[in-house]
Amino acid sequence: MKTSHEQRSGLGLISHLWNQWISTFAILMLLLLTLIIGTGDMIHGQMLRLGERLYGDDKIGMQYSFLRAEPKKPSCDRNVDIDKLVKEKMQQEASDPDAAFFGLTPEADVRASFVSAQTDCEQKYVFYDKLIKHMEDHPSLRSYRSMETGFFWILKWGSEHRVLILILMVVIAAITASLKMHHIGLRPARTKLDFKVYNIAMVLGNTLLSFSVISQYRSVLNSGVESTFETIGVYWLWMILFVVLTVISLFKLFRTPENAEEGGKFGLALLSIPLYAFMAIVTGIAFTFFMDYPMGQGIYLGLLTEFSNIFLNLALFIWAGMLLTQTRVMDLFLAILRPWNLAPETLTWIILIGAAIPTAYTGASGIFVVAAGAIIYKEVWNSGARRQYALAVSAMSGSLGVVLRPCLLVILISMLDSRHVTSDELFNHGIYVFWLTSLIFLSVSLFLAEEKFRINPPVVAVPGMLRAMIPVIPYVLIILAIVGFYKFGLDTKMDEFTAPVILPVMLLAFILFDKLLGNKLPIPENPNKALALQHEKNSEYLREHGETAETKRSFRSAIRFATSESVGHIGALIILMALSASVGGLIERSEIVTMIPTHLGSILVTLGFMALLLALIGMTTDPFGAVILVAATIAPVAYENGIHPIHFWMIVLVAFEFGYVAPPVALNHLLTRLSVGDEEVAAADAEAKAMYSSFYYRYERWILPIIVLFTSLALVTFVPYLLNLFDWYSGK
């Protein structure tokens, strides 16, 4: 075994440079390029308008569009001898037998034709001379034109190659996640046996994926169908990715980390295998050896290319969440609530309601958990809550907002099932599901709380709250300025389509303000001295792991740190989504869903069966892949059994969220651990076992979300039918 110094000087140094610098810089460039593409149309439109205002002239009929390319001198002769041309034309016709048979063209008509051509030629020269003179009168035009057309070229190239940008981003991020062992699994690898099993599974899964994408590439080449540069580039990137991941896993298989614990149990070691490796092994074996369809995994990876805009937006949201950790925004806004000294349960309820808004923009609870789970965990813990409770809240922090406008997941549902539902109908009913789930959470939390209620009197709280509002004002002004700039400067409002672009810009502005002037507006002290001391104690772990803005970083270092953290999250989450699509494809091709009876008899039995089936799907696949699978296979069966489409999709959304917090996978809990850190989750479990004998309090982070979302799922599934809130649906 090499020493750490030898590792750092050899392959260890290469790994360090890749993880900390190369991949971070590459992903930052790709994210910025995605931002440019996202804002490109609106910016370029304004550049054209500015060019018109600067260089257009209505008096002489000059428009900037005429000046976007260097004028070309007309090729025609403006000084022709019309008499000579007419004479030659008449002589030519006279010598032509066919012309003599049909009759000669009158000389006047021939002359008129040449006069018209000369007039057109003269007009071209006049316009050309006018362009040249106008450009000479405006010497800055060429510089502005070069900037505008150069930006347009980047925009055009980026728009035409979004898929390549996404796959390249996934390749870099997934390689980094593999080097860091950052992929999502049921438990982290700790022992030597864990690492052996982990890497063997990674080798097998990535080998199957490599074989699949190579088979797909060969099939395309042998088909004789002409492929574009982008298509071939995507195939090559997939092949490079999985071959490199296979090599990395092989290398790690023979280089167990020095800090690995001795021993281990095989059953626990299996739980350390990344979920995507499990999916790769299962789907690879099924497609290759049982269905004789080796290219199956590669085919279903095409989900990423088909919805490249959505996945690029998810990458931007992850980056925005990591940028948020480098600002003081959450602390400053939550400082407004601290003077009230609210009980953790009440404070948490308010935080979850607030968290529903960014979740609605991301379109998936898992994305928000990755982006803000650590921040919410810190604040809930600092309010005096149990660690287990704080982890439970972090796991379901994104569960409430997936039914609210303008959730991308709902937009996708309305696109896939446009014959039966619209986004407006789903959003209008989703608001009731949101308040139902939030009130259930508050009720359950207060019922199980150790301290039922706590609040400071207004005479104490209001002055502190007003003082805490002062440092928030600059951030509110920044928000208004950026939203106003996009609305009035770029004629673009903030909605589900522009939020992925606007939010990172807003957070970059927050970080810049924090580094320049933020220290002049300190965060007010917590008036509750006991909780203030606990806040300082609880923050030690988070400061050590760089998960709080209290660490002193320059603007450049903060951007680098946020981007570096984003790389691993992007790689781990999007590759998991890609393999979830393969699982969905396997389910679809196996025709298991066709075994569901078309008519189940009782509508109540149908509702219960659908809720259970959808929850099981939510346990195994990501929301975007699951929605595509459900729309194609399960939705028609539900409609045939009389379930109203709006009611069905509300059940789908709540069932998915229940599946994401329920064992055996509990994806949102895995993402919480990814965000908060393995050590902190382990510390929370140890603390609960040491302090509590109650089964509930020992496993609160698992039980609380299940109670809340199962209750919500049961009510959403059965109450609308029992109260006849929807008409009986005939499926027509």
Q: Percentage of the chain surpassing pLDDT 70?
A: 89
CA–CA gap between residue 442 and residue 259 (Å, rounded): 43
Contact 441, 349 (CB under 8 A): yes
93: left (phi over 0), alpha (psi -120 to 50) or beta: alpha
Contact 175, 27 (CB under 8 A): no
Residues 6+ apart with CB under 8 A from 282: 583, 586
Convert 310-378 into a string of H (helix), E (strand) and C (coil). HHHHHHHHHHHHHHHCCCCHHHHHHHCCHHHCCCHHHHHHHHHHHHHHHHHHHCCHHHHHHHHHHHHHH
Is the model's pLDDT at 2 over the cut of 60? no
Residues 6+ apart with CB under 8 A from 153: none
> What is the rounded average pLDDT for all residues in the chain?
84
Q: What are phi and psi of 731, to 5 degrees?
A: 80, 5
Mean pLDDT in residue range 686-707: 91
DSSP 513-557: HHHHTGGGSPPPPPS-HHHHHHHHHHHHHHHHTT-STTS---HHH
- Per-residue pLDDT tens over the stretch 568-624: 888 888 898 888 888 888 887 877 766 766 666 788 888 999 999 999 888 877 777
pLDDT for residue 525: 63
pLDDT for residue 40: 82
Residues 6+ apart with CB under 8 A from 48: 64, 65, 148
CA–CA gap between residue 504 and residue 327 (Å, rounded): 12
Domain locations along the chain = 43-155, 166-306, 310-393+448-566
pLDDT for residue 327: 86
Contact 478, 509 (CB under 8 A): yes
Q: Which of 84-98, 99-113, 517-531, 676-690 has the highest mean pLDDT?
A: 676-690
- Per-residue pLDDT tens over the stretch 719-729: 998 888 776 54
Q: What are phi and psi of 191, to 5 degrees?
A: -95, 170
Q: Which two tokens stand for residue 654?
A: 């709540």
Contact 712, 647 (CB under 8 A): no
Mean pLDDT in residue range 535-548: 47
- Per-residue pLDDT tens over the stretch 35-90: 888 888 788 888 888 888 888 888 888 888 888 888 888 888 888 888 888 888 77
Is the model's pLDDT at 8 over the cut of 60? no
Q: What are phi and psi of 226, to 5 degrees?
A: -70, 130
Is the model's pLDDT at 187 over the cut of 70? yes
Residues facing residue 274 across a β-bridge = 185
- Per-residue pLDDT tens over the stretch 473-493: 999 999 999 999 988 888 888
CA–CA gap between residue 232 and residue 107 (Å, rounded): 61
- Per-residue pLDDT tens over the stretch 626-664: 888 888 888 988 888 889 999 999 999 999 999 989 988
Of 671 and 435, which is predicted with more confidence? 435
Is the model's pLDDT at 277 over the cut of 90? yes
- Per-residue pLDDT tens over the stretch 403-449: 888 787 888 898 888 899 998 899 999 999 999 999 999 999 988 88
SS3 at position 700: helix
CA–CA gap between residue 361 and residue 501 (Å, rounded): 11
Least confident of 331-335, 500-504, 639-643: 331-335
Mean pLDDT in residue range 665-693: 86
Residues facing residue 297 across a β-bridge = none
Which amino acid is residue 157, in one-letter code? W
Mean pLDDT in residue range 538-547: 46
End-to-end CA distance of the chain: 69
Q: Which of 226, 317, 346, 373 is nearest to 668 (CA)?
A: 373
Q: Sign (positive/negative) of CA torsion 249, 251, 257, 260? A: positive
- Per-residue pLDDT tens over the stretch 211-263: 999 999 998 888 777 777 778 888 999 999 999 999 999 999 988 888 888 88
CA–CA gap between residue 140 and residue 437 (Å, rounded): 60
- Record the pTM: 0.80
Q: Percentage of the chain surpassing pLDDT 90?
A: 27
Q: Which two tokens stand for residue 423?
A: 């986004």
Residues in the chain: 732
pLDDT for residue 650: 95
Is the model's pLDDT at 311 over the cut of 70? yes
CA–CA gap between residue 413 and residue 415 (Å, rounded): 5
pLDDT for residue 543: 47
